[in-house]
Structure 1
Amino acid sequence: MAPSRFGAPALERGIAILELLAESPSGLRTEELAAALDLPRSSAFGLVRALHGLGWLDRDEEGRNLLSLRLFTLGVHAAERFDVQRAAAPHLRDLRDRLGLTVHLAVPAGDDRVVYLDKVDGPGIVRFDTYVGKQVDAHLTAVGKALIAELPADRLEATIARVGLTRGTDRSPATVAALQAQLAEVRARGYAVEDQEEVEGVRCVAATIGGYEQPAIAAIGCVGLTRNVPDEQIPQIAAEVIRAAGEISAQLGGR
């Protein structure tokens, strides 16, 4: 295999074994895995033994390794976010029609990033540099701040210590204290605002889906140019976003 890209060679090799077996429904013997992935036989046997012990692999009567149903369970959990997408879709369109803004649906991608799961462009010719599948730093977006506001403080601080605080503009939070102050405001008012912190001239207002009775599983946000999201209209926009988020949560059995 190629040298480790992320400083975790054993983990990368284990994932490579799982991905190769996903493409081999009839299974592969351990020596076949070693050859296909250019792994030392001893390493391959050790990794396969660990994956069996952890419940990620099964073995058939002929000694071939197969993916276990435990991976299916993970897939089911991953698919739950697409239930969110289906439930949210009409509400995103409704928000776009009510407010004339672009609307995003995002889900966590770890504790420091979010990924856009859906997007409905606003009217007019302005288009924002976002797309389904794009990952962005959580602390630079309203959808991200709405989500990480629910993280325990020590967990957030540990994440920031590990990955740092990137800055999009001079308005971006530059310290843990500055970000924590923003997140305290999010918790107090029930919605997040991103004011030209990722891109100059762009504002976003967001609220979480889920939460309170269960952890937040997603967030929706309305984004527009500052002239279309003036300070005096933010409470009105936030009320619409919170209403939509609450309706989606109710559909999913949340709030």
Structure 2
Amino acid sequence: MKDEDNERYRAPALDKGLDILELLAGVDGGLTQAEIAKRLDRSPNEFYRMLDRLVRRGYVTRIDGDRFALTLKLFGLAQLHAPVRRLVSYATPLMRELAESSRQANQLVVFDRGAAVVIAQQEAPGYWGISIRVGSHIGLFDTGSGHILLAFRSEEERQMMIAENLKSNEKPELAPEFFERLDQIRDRGYEMMPSAQTAGVFNLSAPVLGPDGQAIAALTVPYIALVNTRDAPDITGTMQLVLKTTEKLSRLAGADMAPAA
């Protein structure tokens, strides 16, 4: 019965447009009309009018003449979502303060539709720092932010997040040790791990908690050892600064927490 209802309320044109947007979101450098058709197993002629409309409405742009790529319009619409805008507005001055005191860059990450997404980032105040573009999707299973977002959720929510992520990403079955690590992270209140993407970088991550005590975001410093930089705290001191910042943010988000020292 459910399948019959799904067929009854199908909107083929809408599905076609969403298929295009979801496909382009996962590629760099854009795709030609023929490449889009091939990947979606359709005729190229089926997509001519749809691509034209998406270009005219500003969701897609032409690059190199015959290639199509996403614009930032979808990201802009997502930023209009009130809770995200409110969280970023609260976080921005505290992230700036953290960057100044730690001499390191930092970023704020949330879970959205199966992915860990960077919604705000603060550059390091000096010459050196690791930055990640706002809007970037990062790993859920191999980053400090991803670990925090999973560790500070209920078991049921955690499994839903993993299942949603695995829909669009083929990954091996997660070992029991992975879930044991998440429990350890929750017990100690933070994650400190070598970056799986960049040598010499350590992810220092802590949760921004909501009123229910669950993570609504992760704040991460991609820590690099700075040489000949005055007043730069070491990795342990930087982790403490991250924790103090997330405590302040959690209180602003309504979490019941003891005051930061």
TM-score (norm 2): 0.59
Shift in alpha-carbon separation, 1:191–1:11, aligned structure 2, 3 A: farther
Gaps of 5+ in 2: 1-9, 19-48, 52-76, 228-232, 257-261
Q: Report the counterpart of residue 95 of structure 2 in structure 1.
A: 92
Query: Residue 141 of structure 2: SS of its match in structure 1?
Result: helix
Q: Report the counterpart of residue 116 of structure 1 in structure 2.
A: 118
1:242 and 1:236 mapped to 2: Cα distance? 10
Query: Residue 207 of structure 1: SS of its match in structure 2?
Result: strand
Q: Identity of counterpart residues, as a percentage? A: 20
For the pair shown, which has the larger CA radius of gyration, 1 or 2?
A: 1
2:123 and 2:131 in contact (8 A); partners too: no
1:175 and 1:226 mapped to 2: Cα distance? 31
1:131 aligns with 2:133: yes
Gaps of 5+ in 1: 1-9, 19-35, 39-73, 167-173
Shift in alpha-carbon separation, 1:83–1:160, aligned structure 2, 3 A: closer
2:105 and 2:131 in contact (8 A); partners too: no
1:17 Cα offset (Å): 7.6
Q: Report the counterpart of residue 208 of structure 1 in structure 2.
A: 207
Q: Report the counterpart of residue 176 of structure 1 in structure 2.
A: 175
1:148 aligns with 2:150: yes
1:157 and 1:176 in contact (8 A); partners too: no
1:213 Cα offset (Å): 2.2
1:75 Cα offset (Å): 7.6
Query: Residue 84 of structure 1: SS of its match in structure 2?
Result: helix
1:127 Cα offset (Å): 4.0
1:180 Cα offset (Å): 1.7
1:187 aligns with 2:192: no
1:194 and 1:204 in contact (8 A); partners too: yes
Shift in alpha-carbon separation, 1:117–1:195, aligned structure 2, 3 A: same
2:183 and 2:141 mapped to 1: Cα distance? 13
2:152 and 2:207 in contact (8 A); partners too: no
Amino acid corresponding to residue 140 of structure 1 in structure 2? D
1:164 Cα offset (Å): 3.9
1:205 Cα offset (Å): 0.7
Deviations 1:223-244 (A, max 9, x none): 122568xxx9444322221221
1:190 and 1:207 in contact (8 A); partners too: yes
1:157 Cα offset (Å): 5.5
* Aligned ranges 1:1-255 → 2 under 5 Å: 13-14=13-14, 78-111=81-114, 113-151=115-153, 152=155, 154-155=159-160, 158-159=163-164, 162=167, 163-165=169-171, 175-211=174-210, 213-226=212-225, 233-255=234-256
1:146 and 1:132 mapped to 2: Cα distance? 19
1:203 and 1:226 in contact (8 A); partners too: no
2:130 and 2:201 mapped to 1: Cα distance? 9
1:103 and 1:220 in contact (8 A); partners too: yes
Deviations 1:86-117 (A, max 9, x none): 00011101111111111111111234x21111
2:211 and 2:254 in contact (8 A); partners too: no
